[in-house]
Structure 1
Amino acid sequence: MVSKADQELIDAATSVISDRYRNDWQEVGAAMRTRDGRIITGVNIDAYIGRIAVCAEAIAIGRAITEHGDHGIETIVAVRHPKPGEPGKIAVVSPCGICRELIHDYDAKARVIVPDQGQPPKVVSIGELLPNKYKRGSE
């Protein structure tokens, strides 16, 4: 079950992708709350060459660091906007594997809002989404 503060993040991510949605270009929005309480949003950047695309979570993390300094990730969420004619509505999605790595690297105690198989979204730790994380050297 998500808290009022968690729902505020879902709403912020929904709002940013509603405002910035472009079919086949921007379809995912993210919102994160930094450990100092700021809410930062981002949308994915798609590209003709898929490997240079950047996820919405990475954009939000980058904006947070660039605009406010690295204050950690308290909670983060991503939502996906359906394509024209696709059934459904904007909904919470799980972060991809690369985003899981990035979130964990920037805050190993981050909370992540994820879908819950037809139930309302739930909150898990990034460690639950990425168990046995790779670490460099003697970390």
Structure 2
Amino acid sequence: MLLADGSILTGTSPDAMNASVEVCHEIEPYCGAFRLNQRVVASVCLHRQPSGRTVVLSPCGVCRERLAVYGPGVLVAVADRRDPTVVVWKALKDVLPDYWMTAFPDEIDAGWTT
């Protein structure tokens, strides 16, 4: 995760006996950004398969909600449709075009409603 001050934060997802209590890789850098009082500028999630191949994972719905507080211009990595090992950068607004918070324009970044 890239922060506004140029810092890069990384995260990991430890295994747990009960899969329902596991956390995603992004939790750690999200918390770090909050702790450092820094805006998130860009986020990428990579997954290394057992074969050693690394693929790009677009942010899930929960991560999109977490990133949304930093505004519609946050860059997120998504996989190229032809090759999931290739990063394609998109603005969060482009991967979350129908953000539910647009029903409350006085409560969100104006960029979501323009």
- The TM-score bracket by the shorter chain reads 0.7 to 0.9
- Give the structure 2 partner of residue 74 of structure 1: 41
1:87-126 alignment to 2 at 5 Å?
A: 87=51, 89-119=53-83, 120-126=86-92
Q: Indicate yes or no: 2:23 matched with 1:44.
A: no
Answer 1 or 2: which has greater strand percent: 1
Give me the TM-score of the superposition, normalised by structure 1. 0.64
Distance (Å, rounded) in 1 between the aligned partners of 2:17 and 2:97: 32
SS of residue matched to 1:40: coil
1:48-63 alignment to 2 at 5 Å?
A: 48-63=17-32
Identity %: 28
1:36 is displaced (CA, Å) by 1.5
Distance (Å, rounded) in 2 between the aligned partners of 1:103 and 1:116: 21
Distance (Å, rounded) in 1 between the aligned partners of 2:88 and 2:80: 6
Runs of 4+ in 1 over 6 A off after TM superposition: none
Distance (Å, rounded) in 1 between the aligned partners of 2:72 and 2:27: 15
Give me the TM-score of the superposition, normalised by structure 2. 0.76
1:34 is displaced (CA, Å) by 0.6
Read off the aligned partner of 1:48 and give its amino acid letter: M
Distance (Å, rounded) in 2 between the aligned partners of 1:48 and 1:96: 22
5+ unaligned residues in a row in structure 1: which ranges? 1-31
State the number of aligned residues. 103
Whether contact under 8 Å (1:81, 1:89) holds in the other structure is: yes
Q: Indicate yes or no: 2:96 matched with 1:127.
A: no
1:88 is displaced (CA, Å) by 5.2
Identify the structure with bigger relative contact order (alpha carbons < 8 Å, sequence gap 6+): 1
Q: Indicate yes or no: 2:29 matched with 1:34.
A: no
- Give the structure 1 partner of residue 111 of structure 2: none
Q: CA RMSD in A?
A: 2.0
Change (3 A) 1:106 1:50: farther
